[in-house]
Amino acid sequence: MKIGVIGTGYVGLVTAVCLAELGHQVIGTDVVREKIDLALAGKPHIYEPGLEELLKKNLKKGHLNFYHDLDKTIREADVLFVCVSTPQLPDGRADMSYVEGVSRRIAENLNAYKLIVEKSTVPVRTSAWIKRVINLYRHNDQDFDVASNPEFLREGSAVHDFLHPDRIIIGVESKRAEKILRKIYARFTEKLLVTNIDTAELIKHASNSFLAMKISFI
């Protein structure tokens, strides 16, 4: 099973490196060429304790690679973790243009079954919207699933948090998707919490709100 990570920003790069550390074959891709060039040279564009060491280690072992070509990444991967940015618009809504763009590219390159995993922070019901976009632009009847796997990484301890999680939320709507994600996170079976997709998306927002409230009382 080959995993593609779309977007190698903070969340995406940590996700790609740590999934490779778990023993998976991982491809990272990004529209910013400099990020990919640096990653291929073993030099992460962000600093996180342990990240550079694991990046170099897994590049050398062949568990990790980076492509400039998004379409090639989509075609080669069995599972796609979507880690693109969803910045806030002036009216407070999330800018979903990057997610929409990626969804369209997935639709255009859907050459086999794919599991598309939301890692970005997105509004509830985004998975249903992604499915509609893919169904609108795809050129065949190839099966695919969408799932949610929100991240709970803390800056400064992101690598540790990924490799030593206190919980892993996976939101799915098919047994096939659940089986694949259980295999990806097989090392952390006791930490897995399986929900439907809407609930997983909501859990991320609830967690962010709770943490913001805690910080406000410090």
Give the domain range for residue 96: 2-216
Angle between helices 51-61 and 10-21 (to 10 degrees): 50
Q: Which residues pair with 3 in a beta bridge?
A: 26, 79
Sole residue written with tokens 């090392």: 187
The number of distinct structural domains making up the chain is 1
CATH of the domain at 29: 3.40.50.720
pLDDT at residue 207 in the model: 73
CA distance 49 to 161: 11
pLDDT tens digits in sequence order for the chain, 218 residues long? 999 999 999 999 999 999 999 999 999 999 999 999 999 999 999 999 999 999 999 999 999 999 999 999 999 999 999 999 898 889 989 889 999 999 999 999 999 999 999 998 888 899 999 999 999 999 999 999 999 999 988 889 999 999 999 999 999 999 999 999 999 999 999 999 999 999 999 988 777 666 677 677 76
pLDDT at residue 120 in the model: 85
pLDDT at residue 13 in the model: 98
CA dihedral 122, 167, 26, 41 (to 10 degrees): 90
pLDDT at residue 206 in the model: 77
Considering Cα of 140, then 101, then 85, then 31, what sign does the dihedral take?
positive
